[in-house]
Structure 1
Amino acid sequence: MKMRSVGDMGNHVFSQNLKITQLGKSGRIDEAIKVFSQMTQKNTVTFNSMISAYAKNGRIVDARQLFDKMPRRNLVSWNTMISGYLHNDKVEEAYDIFGKMPKRDLFSWTLMITCYTRNGELQKARELFNLLPHKLDVVCWNAMIAGYAKNGMFDEAKRLFDEMPVKDLVSWNSMLAGYTQNGQMHLGLQFFEGMVERNVISWNLMVDGFVHVGDLDSAWKFFKKIPEPNVVSWVTMLSGFARNGRITEAQNLFEQMPNRNVVSWNAMIAAYVQDCQIDKAVRLFSEMPERDSVSWTTMINGYVCVGKLDEARQLLHQMPYKNIAAQTAMISGYVQNKRMDEANQIFNQIGTRDVVCWNTMIAGYAQCGKMAEAQHLFNQMTNKDLVSWNTMVAGYAQAGQMDKALKIFEEMGKRNAVSWNSLIAGFSQNELYLDALRSFMMMGQEGKRPDESTFACGLSACANIAALQMGEQLHHLAVKSGYINDLFVSNALITMYAKCGRVSNAELVFKDLANVDVVSWNSLIAGHALNGNGKEAVELFEEMLTQGVDPDQVTFIGVLSACSHGGLVSRGLELFKSMTERYNVEPLAEHYACMVDLLGRAGRLEEGFKMVSEMRIKATAGIWGALLGAARIHRNFELGKYAAEKLLELEPHKASNYVLLSNIHADAGRWSEAQRVRMVMAERRTEKQPGYSWIEVGDQVHSYLPGDPAQPRIAEICGILKTLSAEMRNTSCVTDVKSSFDICQ
């Protein structure tokens, strides 16, 4: 048997260590584990390589267990463990390792300072910086400057920069990057012009900065002035053109490149994919001299974006080694098309899943309303992030399970604006408007700043319960917060004021808008319709057309409703006809309901019934309800009975429908039939949803449920109501007000 020499064994260990490192970097963690477990000879480098591989693939618990089992550790081992924690956003754990280190080098200090600055914890970073044993080394100074600059604290960054005992080119570029990466191109340009020395990185930072603020002309001017552009310069400019849809210029630049690396090819493929030119992307992909995981992932994403999932799956199978980003892209494609079984197949094939992969699957199940499956995956996750928690809150809210959404929300360790917005939007979508407003107030108490979505949801809740005072407070708060010019918020304000009966305020908000969209017009038209201003709504519609804004389905719901409430029968019929003939808008059930209501109010019941009989869509409860309402007003018993029976077919468990049918029989003097309907209602155990009222007193909205003993002043309120009732009877103002005071029964 041939014996291995010590040198051969050393070379073998070295090659295996290198293999573990390479497998870890490429995401092939299972193969890396296999190599590690089969090694008979392991040194400290072997353990360090495996710890790094675990950490890079999200398996930080395994990395720590291996670190704790190491027979010997060197300084690199400690730094590798710190790096692993930082890579997985485990700052406190990293600091714990840092505190236990027997000795530290400059890299250890730089790691922790960089970690805190990257995490926005600049006070902790500065405390560590102040403890530095050697203040002359430029690396930690640069890390601190970069941290201040990245977080927009330019004065502090500049002060530290000026205090530096020795500056190198990295110092200058760190300061410049702070300006350019935060969009402060005016300050960046001033600083660039004052730099005592520059390199290609300095020029690239300026090009990249202009690209990010969308100033491609300035970016191009700088690019052409670079003394010796490198491949990063070319790719930065190429990506800038691509991101802004200037594909021809990107293609020309790609063809002019003196040297192309794989990043250049990937950038051009990504440009074609972004522009949905999938055929050109495929051609370029096939011409590539070499491909990396990004190349494959970009192409799979491209196929997914254009809906070619079979081609994407085929390409995934052809990959020389599976990459979690590519697999997640494939899962995302299936999720977008609600093909969850196929998404789950890919998911189950992934050995080590990162948080993005988990979140994609959870979001898929949530979007399909499969919250049991989403919850099962959520429970299995070891490293949940904010996206995971927020997805579950939004998923339960979308499914109408607000009790579970609230439970998840309360269990969250950290919350951001998205968390609160998901909860507030959920309450609003499920018609729990008071809970939405309470959550809005609690968000402020927790110190979280509302954004445009928060304001829009809060205003929507105010609109639906006509809480004018609360809505006005949100209006003032939106002004102070700088969101008043946001179109989303302004449109919500228009609706809020209109639904609260303040159409003049809604018009003021509309007139103050620099740019209006179709939603703005729709909100104001619907507001006039809601307040019975039919003529004004139609005039607004006509003004909208003169402004060159094309109406949509929502526009016509508003203007037809306005015609109905305003008795504008002829105009309503004209508009309904023009919907399809002139504006190519297909009528929905809501449009037919408006028309039936319009004709019914005018007593033209036969025309309304004929429209329902001849329409191409299936009649909804709203349509039959409109016909029933008109039949009751005009005492058309047969039509009313027919409409009520159709309504019962669609909503057999809704108590109000039985009450309506019973009342129709009663109106016609058919008491036995009325009683029979009431008995059927009792047999089917339909439940009448108790109504509740609300009123604003001071800064609070109070709700009242009939017979609710929980109201603290219910006896006092009932006493006042009975006194008023007696007064009204004595003055003959009302003949029967008993039904108005059922709250006291």
Structure 2
Amino acid sequence: MKSRLKSVGDHGSHVFHQNLKITQMGKLGRVEEAIKVFELVTHKNTVTYNSMISAYAKNGRINDARQLFDKMHHRNLVSWNTMIAGYLHNDKVEEAYQLFDKMPNRDLFSWTLMLTCYTRSGMLEKARELFDLLPDKRNPVCWNTMIAGYAKNGRFDDAQRIFDEMPVKDLVSWNSMLSGYTQNGEMRLGLKFFEQMAERDVISWNLMVDGFLEVGDLDSAWQFFKKIPKPNVVSWVTMLCGFARNGNILGARRLFDQMPSRNVVSWNAMIAGYVQDCQIDEAKRLFMEMPDRNSVSWTAMINGYVRIGKLDEARELLDQMPYNNVAAQTAMISGYVQNKRMDEACQIFNQISVRDNVCWNTMIAGYAQCGRMGEALYLFKQMAGKDIVSWNTMIAGYAQVGQMDRALNIFEEMGKRNLVSYNSLISGFTQNELFVDALKSFILMWINGMKPDQSTFACGLSACANLAALHVGEQLHHLIVKSGYVNDLFVGNALITMYAKCGRISSAELVFKDIDRDVVSWNSLIAGYGLNGYAKEAVKLFEQMEIEGVAPDQVTFVGVLSACSHVGLIDEGLKLFNCMSEVYSIEPLAEHYACVVDLLGRAGRLKEAFQLVRVMKIEANAGIWGALLGACRMHRNLELGKFAAEKLHKLEPHKTSNYVLLSNMHAEASRWDEVEKVRVLMKESRAEKQPGCSWIEVKNQLHAFLSDDQAQPRTGEICNILKTLSAQMGNTGYMPSIRSSLLDYE
């Protein structure tokens, strides 16, 4: 009998230890090892199942957790609560509530879990409805959950109302209210509440220290830290992290050395501080001294090596890890992705048996950034638990490679969208010169109640600038003022460009005067002056820029040289071109040479322009040869024009405008045989002439016109009006050269 009891006791002890091992493996992210232990348990009890459900859920395998839960023959209240907690951990609110609704009985923990589900997801009205259904409201736990939910979401009045209604307040209640203020950056209100607290503990003090650190007030945080009656490890680590985040690594290390006791979190915090400060050798020294390391320690060091580009050292460290960890492996993948080493990233990715969303998204983003959208789509389709980041990454990836139809399909297929989703689509349309579609998406975003940010406004303004849609641009300006982004430099620069491209240079000047300018602001207005024919003003602004000590860059010189070129300021332009390298040590790019070639060409100094092309240090591109060809056309230099056209043909064999320009030159010289040869050459190269497109804004609507588009309503009427205008221009003594235009049309 004693032997039998001993056997039962031994077996029970064995199962207990196995259950404990499953729980520990789950916490460490070693879910595959937990599965093996689970399968080896011959007589599984309810605790065994609950431990495995928790291990699955904590590692993102919520579907596996649910399947195991459904297989259980005997569930206790802990089983139901564990499964709901798993849904909470994986942000599956609806699934959690469905399970909660099916529970045969509930305890206080069940109600608290479900309330936490709602409050964390910002579903405060549903949380309140559930709170009102509570059968017993005497316990403060659920009250505290509601207070924390309201406070975290910035609804301080509602939080205060619940707080005041509480039958019995405990210290957690006070700290829940305080954390609402400190975590939302409301430190003035937080300090006032802290001073009114009936009692405080170390958590209260830590909340104040952390709050001040979050708003960047390091001095106040330090003063509070020094006043803490009995600081705990969290107090020390919070202050240590504050020093490290603010770049005071010496202060952080001093604090670390003074700590009365250190846990693994404090060691990790100090290592992270060194990593952030790119002191990897110091981080490694500390890492080697650690009495115990966890996955965070290894991941921090791998991230450190990745950060400074030492991928081989990072990989060596990853290979030395005593166990696999998805966070560390993802850090390694991220390093390979940043360096476009996708094959090595894929090798690590394939070794990971249980991947979380961060891991999947890192790989998908890597392929997207490299333009390998086929592989990105393959992974995207394989991914089971796609989140909003996955969808947004695909939109941005397709936009980057110019496949906006696919980007739009992804956008339409996704269920929930956020600001990044709309911004990715709008910026994609803008980058691919689909400006009308960009504005339509902006309007759709507004209709759907999504508030634009500075990126949205900048893209919208860029679309207006390129469409010369002044009225729409002015409406966006009003929205910007109402939304509080009028002082944002990114938006301000976009406004300058929009007004300049729409011909409202005075409005561009007003915006320029009202913002805290950077070099982009100066460049935007200089380019605007050039675009509108105000070359002298562009040069004057450039000189003012020098006086104010703003160093010009390559873009600055493109703008001012282009301005000089448009109005024939030859001496000023050549002087500026020479001072680029002599004064500012800026090596000219192809764009600068193209401006100077255009400048000389327009003045008829074709030999000098051609000589510049021959002696310049860089290889001539299409822009340079195009500028020379245009000048040859203007001054009827057929020989040089033909040479430039041949060069262009090699660089842009399928671009029609080059053929048309050369054809027109021959036509103007009545060299019809040559005209025919050029046209045959155009057909042989399979160059397709894109129809010309223009647009006009009437009553806040953009109307687009394609050349030779017979489907356009009132085409005949438009042509008749055009003929009438041409006749009137002829009667007043002005007649533009329309011969070449007619040749283009034919």
* Fold shared, TM-score > 0.5 on shorter chain: yes
- The structure 2 residue matched to 1:375, chosen from 374, 377, 394, is 377
Supply the distance in 2 between the matched residues of 1:8 and 1:451 (Cα, whole angstroms).
64
Alignment of 1:484-633 (within 5 A): 484-513=486-515, 515-633=516-634
Q: Work out whether residues 725 and 737 of structure 1, in 8 Å CA contact, stay in contact via their aligned partners in 2.
A: no
Q: Work out whether residues 718 and 744 of structure 1, in 8 Å CA contact, stay in contact via their aligned partners in 2.
A: no
Q: Work out whether residues 624 and 647 of structure 1, in 8 Å CA contact, stay in contact via their aligned partners in 2.
A: yes
- The structure 1 residue matched to 2:177, chosen from 172, 175, 178, is 175
Equivalent in the alignment of 2:24: 22
Equivalent in the alignment of 2:254: 252
Equivalent in the alignment of 1:336: 338
Equivalent in the alignment of 1:233: 235
Q: Work out whether residues 707 and 743 of structure 1, in 8 Å CA contact, stay in contact via their aligned partners in 2.
A: no
Equivalences, count: 744
Cα distance per residue 1:426-462 (max 9 Å; x no partner): 1111111111111111111111111111100000000
1:673 and 2:683 correspond = no
Equivalent in the alignment of 1:284: 286
Counterpart of 2:703 in structure 1: which amino acid?
Answer: H
Counterpart of 2:466 in structure 1: which amino acid?
Answer: N
Counterpart of 1:377 in structure 2: which amino acid?
Answer: L
Q: Work out whether residues 721 and 741 of structure 1, in 8 Å CA contact, stay in contact via their aligned partners in 2.
A: no
Distance 1:525 1:402, change over 3 A: same
Distance 1:108 1:742, change over 3 A: farther
Supply the distance in 1 between the matched residues of 2:587 and 2:737 (Cα, whole angstroms).
47
Equivalent in the alignment of 1:79: 81
1:36 shift after superposition: 1.2
Equivalent in the alignment of 2:396: 394
1:701 shift after superposition: 1.1
1:464 shift after superposition: 0.6
1:346 and 2:345 correspond = no
Q: Work out whether residues 424 and 436 of structure 1, in 8 Å CA contact, stay in contact via their aligned partners in 2.
A: yes
* SS at structure 2 position matched to 1:695: strand
Distance 1:633 1:736, change over 3 A: closer
* SS at structure 1 position matched to 2:584: coil
Supply the distance in 1 between the matched residues of 2:721 and 2:595 (Cα, whole angstroms).
40
Uncovered stretches (5+) of structure 1, i.e. residues with no partner: none
1:691 and 2:704 correspond = no
Q: Work out whether residues 395 and 421 of structure 2, in 8 Å CA contact, stay in contact via their aligned partners in 1.
A: yes
* SS at structure 2 position matched to 1:259: coil
1:664 shift after superposition: 2.8
Q: Work out whether residues 633 and 661 of structure 2, in 8 Å CA contact, stay in contact via their aligned partners in 1.
A: no
Counterpart of 2:622 in structure 1: which amino acid?
Answer: A
Cα distance per residue 1:10-33 (max 9 Å; x no partner): 111111111111111111111111
- The structure 1 residue matched to 2:8, chosen from 3, 6, 9, is 6
1:728 shift after superposition: 6.2
Q: Work out whether residues 645 and 661 of structure 1, in 8 Å CA contact, stay in contact via their aligned partners in 2.
A: no
Supply the distance in 1 between the matched residues of 2:716 and 2:674 (Cα, whole angstroms).
39
1:245 shift after superposition: 1.1
Distance 1:280 1:543, change over 3 A: same
Equivalent in the alignment of 1:275: 277
Alignment of 1:326-475 (within 5 A): 326-475=328-477
Counterpart of 2:196 in structure 1: which amino acid?
Answer: G
1:198 shift after superposition: 0.4
Supply the distance in 1 between the matched residues of 2:274 and 2:717 (Cα, whole angstroms).
72
Counterpart of 1:608 in structure 2: which amino acid?
Answer: A
* SS at structure 1 position matched to 2:596: helix
1:122 and 2:86 correspond = no
Q: Work out whether residues 664 and 740 of structure 2, in 8 Å CA contact, stay in contact via their aligned partners in 1.
A: no
Counterpart of 2:476 in structure 1: which amino acid?
Answer: L
- Which is worse superposed, 342-351 or 533-542? 533-542
Distance 1:521 1:457, change over 3 A: same
Supply the distance in 1 between the matched residues of 2:650 and 2:98 (Cα, whole angstroms).
67
- Which is worse superposed, 670-679 or 182-191? 670-679
Shift >4 Å, 4+ stretches = 1-4, 712-745
1:608 shift after superposition: 1.7
Cα distance per residue 1:493-533 (max 9 Å; x no partner): 000000011111001001111x2111111111111111111
Distance 1:735 1:375, change over 3 A: closer
Cα distance per residue 1:219-265 (max 9 Å; x no partner): 11111111111111111111111111111211211122121111111
1:552 shift after superposition: 1.1
Cα distance per residue 1:467-490 (max 9 Å; x no partner): 111100110111111111111111
Supply the distance in 2 between the matched residues of 1:744 and 1:582 (Cα, whole angstroms).
48
Equivalent in the alignment of 1:162: 164
1:482 and 2:484 correspond = yes
Distance 1:554 1:725, change over 3 A: closer
- Which is worse superposed, 667-676 or 412-421? 667-676
Uncovered stretches (5+) of structure 2, i.e. residues with no partner: none
TM-score by length of 2: 0.97
Equivalent in the alignment of 2:658: 657
1:666 shift after superposition: 3.0
Equivalent in the alignment of 1:295: 297
Q: Work out whether residues 362 and 377 of structure 1, in 8 Å CA contact, stay in contact via their aligned partners in 2.
A: yes
Distance 1:73 1:716, change over 3 A: farther
Supply the distance in 2 between the matched residues of 1:49 and 1:402 (Cα, whole angstroms).
47
Distance 1:183 1:743, change over 3 A: farther
Supply the distance in 2 between the matched residues of 1:247 and 1:407 (Cα, whole angstroms).
48
1:3 shift after superposition: 11
Supply the distance in 2 between the matched residues of 1:33 and 1:318 (Cα, whole angstroms).
23
RMSD over aligned Cα, in angstroms? Answer: 2.0
Equivalent in the alignment of 2:188: 186
1:221 and 2:243 correspond = no
Supply the distance in 2 between the matched residues of 1:540 and 1:725 (Cα, whole angstroms).
38
Cα distance per residue 1:385-437 (max 9 Å; x no partner): 11100000010011000110011011010111111111111111111111111
- The structure 2 residue matched to 1:198, chosen from 194, 200, 205, is 200
Q: Work out whether residues 664 and 743 of structure 2, in 8 Å CA contact, stay in contact via their aligned partners in 1.
A: no
* SS at structure 2 position matched to 1:582: helix
Distance 1:633 1:707, change over 3 A: closer
* SS at structure 2 position matched to 1:484: coil
Supply the distance in 2 between the matched residues of 1:549 and 1:663 (Cα, whole angstroms).
45
Distance 1:725 1:633, change over 3 A: closer
